């Protein structure tokens, strides 16, 4: 029976490369000369810590980070910028969480979307991925199209397609 998995993972090495290229670009930029800019990646918890002098520079650092990540193939929705930056002495500090794996409530939304589509497929949640099985590959491709069209604000990958 054909099947595939829906996942929402960020490759750690790709994320590390994106952070390093963003650091290099910021070091070479004229508007960041003689200013405190620090980007740290906690590889265990998938958390980026950004430290800058002002709010305007924070916006520029975030913009550079997103553009470099997208060039590396990381979806911009993988970053959670919802927490506000807080003042820590003379610097502005912000923690950015990188989503790694589907949360249970997001997985339930996707399964509900698949079941509401009316296609003859089965979807089951397996830890942080969703396994979708069906009799026809065309039904599975329709599920992929439906997930891409639904505005879920999640970086989804469709992996392990087996026929």
Residue 115 has a pLDDT of 93
50 burial class (0-12, 13-18, 19+ CB within 10 angstroms)?
buried
Burial 91-104 (b: 16+ CB within 10 A, else e): bbebbbbbbbebee
CATH: 3.40.50.12240, 3.30.70.860, 3.40.50.150, 3.30.750.210. Which one for 3-8+102-162? 3.30.70.860
Q: Do 3-8+102-162 and 12-98 have matching folds? A: yes
Q: What architecture does CATH give domain 12-98?
A: 2-Layer Sandwich (3.30)
Q: What is the pLDDT of residue 59?
A: 93
Q: Say if pTM beats, i.e. exceeds, 0.85.
A: no
Helices within 11-120 (DSSP H only): 12-28, 55-72, 104-116
Residue pair 12/149 in contact (Cβ under 8 Å)? The answer is: no
Closest CA to 37 of 60, 66, 17: 60
Residue 79 CA to residue 85 CA, distance in Å, equals 15
Cβ count within 10 A of residue 149: 9
What is the chain's pLDDT, residue by residue, as a tens digit (163 residues)? Answer: 899 999 998 999 999 999 999 999 999 988 888 888 999 999 999 999 999 998 999 999 999 999 999 999 999 999 998 888 888 788 899 999 998 889 999 999 999 999 998 999 999 999 889 999 999 999 999 999 999 999 888 889 999 988 8
Domain ranges within the chain, ordered by starting residue? 3-8+102-162, 12-98
């Amino acid at each position: 029976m054909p099947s595939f998995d829906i996942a929402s993972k960020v490759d750690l090495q790709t994320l590390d490369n994106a952070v390093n290229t963003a650091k290099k670009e910021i070091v070479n930029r004229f508007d960041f000369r003689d200013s405190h800019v620090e980007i740290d990646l906690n590889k265990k918890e998938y958390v980026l810590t950004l430290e800058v002098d002002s709010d305007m520079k924070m916006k520029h650092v975030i913009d550079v980070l997103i553009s470099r990540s997208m060039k590396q193939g990381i979806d911009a929705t993988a970053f959670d910028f919802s927490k506000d930056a807080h003042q820590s002495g003379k610097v502005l500090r912000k923690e950015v969480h990188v989503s790694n794996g589907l949360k249970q409530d997001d997985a339930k939304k996707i399964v509900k979307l698949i079941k509401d589509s009316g296609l003859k497929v089965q979807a089951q949640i397996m830890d942080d991925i969703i396994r979708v099985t069906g009799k026809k590959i065309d039904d599975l491709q329709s599920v992929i199209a439906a997930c891409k069209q639904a505005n879920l604000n999640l970086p989804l990958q469709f992996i392990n397609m087996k026929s």
